[in-house]
C-alpha cells in the first residue's frame, strides 16, 4: 500500500459472514418458530391488528379509484338496462294496445254482422254481403267503393243497407268493384214516409251538415205535422227501396213566416262514417210485375150521312 494513504476497507477478518446455507437454515428455523408461535400463542395478532389499523386509510384511499370505476360502469350499465327495459315495456304496451284495438274492432264487426244477419232474415228479397274498401277521393261527393261488382251480380240501383237502416244506393258497377252513393250526397234523394203520421215526402242529401244532420226533408208545408224525433222510413214508391226500412230521424224543424215550406233537417240512422259490412239488395223494380201494354185506341165511329 503506498505511503500517505489510509486503508478504508475493513480487514478480511471482519468481512467474513455466515454462509448462504447457514442463513437459509437460520431463517427457515426462525420462520417455522414464528408460525408455530402464532398458531399456538397468537403473539402476532396485536401486531397484525395494529398494522391493519394503520394501513386501513391507505387501503381505502387506494381502493377509491377502483370503486369509482366500478360505480361508473355500474351506473351506465344500469342506465342502459333501464332504457332497454323501458323500450321493451313500450313495445309490449304498443302490442297490447294493438290487440285491444283489434279486439274492439272485431267486437264491432261481429255486432254489425249479427245485425246484418238479423236484417237478412227479415228481408224477403235476395241479398248480397259486401264490404266497404275505401271512400272516393272526390271531396264534393259522398261515395264509397265496395268489394263486389258485376262478377258477383251487383246491379246499378241496388239499395245498400246496414243493420240500422239504409246507407245508400249503388250508382256505378265495375267488373270487380262497385260504387255506392251515400244518403248524405247532395244528389241523392229517397222517398220517405213519416212513421208517426204516415205522411210521404222526399229526403235529400246535405253533405255540408251545418245543422248537425246530413239530410233535409224538402217541400213540406209549414203547417205540416212534423216533430223532432220522428222516424222516416222508405215508402217503397220509387221502385228501388223496399218499404219500411229506416232512413233518418228528424233533428230540427224550422218554420218561417215568410216561407210556405218548413226547413226540416234529418240525421241518417245508419252510421255513415263507421260502417264496413253492408248488404246489397236487388232493386225493387226488378221484382215488380211488368207494366201492362197500352191498349190500342179504337178508331172513331163514322158519322152516318143522311139518306
The pLDDT tens digits of the residues spanning 189-199 come to 999 999 999 99
Is residue 103 domain-resident? Answer: no
> What is the reported pLDDT for 307?
42
User: Do 160 and 233 fall into the same domain?
Assistant: yes
Give the distance, in angstroms, between the CA of residue 276 and the centroid of all CA atoms in the same chain.
15
Q: What domain range is 225 assigned to?
A: 127-287
Buried b (16+ CB within 10 A) or exposed e, 190-212: bbbbbeeeebebbbbbbbeeebe
Is residue 179 domain-resident? Answer: yes
Is residue 140 domain-resident? Answer: yes
- For the cut 90, the answer to whether the pLDDT of residue 178 exceeds it is yes
Residue with the bigger pLDDT between 141 and 69: it is 141
User: Do 70 and 181 fall into the same domain?
Assistant: no
User: Do 88 and 152 fall into the same domain?
Assistant: no
Task: Kindly report the backbone phi and psi dihedral angles of residue 189, in degrees, each rounded to the nearest multiple of 5, phi listed first.
Answer: -135, 145
Task: Using DSSP, state whether 173 is helix, strand or coil.
Answer: strand
> What is the reported pLDDT for 98?
66
CB atoms within 10 A of CB 143: 17
User: Do 73 and 131 fall into the same domain?
Assistant: no
pLDDT, tens digit (0-9, with 9 covering 90-100), for 119-140: 655 565 678 889 999 998 888 8
Residue with the bigger pLDDT between 35 and 221: it is 221
| For range 4-31, the mean pLDDT | 72
User: Do 132 and 249 fall into the same domain?
Assistant: yes
Residue with the bigger pLDDT between 245 and 107: it is 245
Q: Are 121 and 269 in contact (CB under 8 A)?
A: no
Which residues, at least 6 apart from 104, have a Cβ–Cβ distance to it below 8 Å? none
> What is the reported pLDDT for 265?
92
Is residue 225 domain-resident? Answer: yes
For the record, the C-alpha cell of 57 comes out as 386509510
User: Do 137 and 29 fall into the same domain?
Assistant: no
Is residue 295 domain-resident? Answer: no
User: Do 76 and 145 fall into the same domain?
Assistant: no
> What is the reported pLDDT for 93?
74
Residue with the bigger pLDDT between 16 and 223: it is 223
Q: Provide the number of structural domains found in the chain.
A: 2
Task: Kindly report the backbone phi and psi dihedral angles of residue 11, in degrees, each rounded to the nearest multiple of 5, phi listed first.
Answer: -65, 160
Q: How many helices (H) and strands (E) does the chain have?
A: 2, 12
| For range 32-44, the mean pLDDT | 79
Tell me the CATH number at 254.
2.40.10.340
The C-alpha angle with vertex 269 and arms to 266 and 273, in degrees rounded to 5, equals 100
**C-alpha dihedral over 52, 53, 55, 61, to 10 degrees?**
120
Amino acid at each position: 500500500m503506498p505511503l500517505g494513504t489510509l486503508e478504508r476497507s475493513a480487514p478480511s477478518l471482519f468481512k467474513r459472514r455466515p454462509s448462504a446455507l447457514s442463513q437459509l437454515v437460520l431463517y427457515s428455523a426462525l420462520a417455522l418458530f414464528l408460525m408455530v408461535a402464532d398458531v399456538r400463542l397468537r403473539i402476532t395478532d396485536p401486531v397484525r391488528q395494529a398494522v391493519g389499523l394503520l394501513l386501513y386509510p391507505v387501503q381505502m384511499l387506494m381502493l377509491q379509484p377502483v370503486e369509482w370505476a366500478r360505480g361508473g360502469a355500474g351506473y351506465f350499465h344500469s342506465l342502459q338496462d333501464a332504457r332497454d327495459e323501458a323500450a321493451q315495456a313500450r313495445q309490449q304496451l304498443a302490442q297490447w294496445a294493438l290487440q285491444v284495438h283489434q279486439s274492439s274492432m272485431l267486437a264491432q264487426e261481429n255486432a254489425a254482422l249479427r245485425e246484418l244477419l238479423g236484417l237478412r232474415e227479415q228481408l224477403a228479397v235476395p241479398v248480397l254481403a259486401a264490404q266497404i274498401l275505401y271512400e272516393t277521393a272526390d271531396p264534393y261527393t259522398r261515395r264509397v267503393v265496395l268489394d263486389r261488382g258485376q262478377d258477383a251480380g251487383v246491379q246499378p240501383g241496388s239499395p245498400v243497407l246496414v243493420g240500422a237502416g239504409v246507407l245508400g244506393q249503388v250508382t256505378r258497377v265495375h267488373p270487380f268493384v262497385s260504387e255506392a252513393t251515400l244518403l248524405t250526397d247532395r244528389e241523392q234523394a229517397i222517398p220517405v214516409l213519416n212513421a208517426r203520421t204516415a205522411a210521404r215526402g222526399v229526403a235529400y242529401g246535405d253533405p255540408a251538415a251545418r245543422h248537425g244532420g246530413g239530410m233535409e226533408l224538402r217541400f213540406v208545408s209549414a203547417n205540416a205535422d212534423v216533430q223532432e224525433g220522428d222516424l222516416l222510413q222508405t215508402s217503397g214508391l220509387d221502385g228501388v227501396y223496399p218499404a219500411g226500412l229506416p232512413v233518418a230521424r228528424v233533428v230540427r224543424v224550422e218554420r218561417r213566416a215568410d216561407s210556405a215550406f218548413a226547413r226540416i233537417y234529418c240525421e241518417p240512422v245508419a252510421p255513415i262514417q263507421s260502417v264496413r259490412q253492408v248488404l246489397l239488395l236487388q232493386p225493387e223494380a226488378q221484382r215488380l210485375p211488368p207494366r201492362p201494354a197500352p191498349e190500342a185506341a179504337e178508331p172513331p165511329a163514322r158519322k152516318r150521312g143522311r139518306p
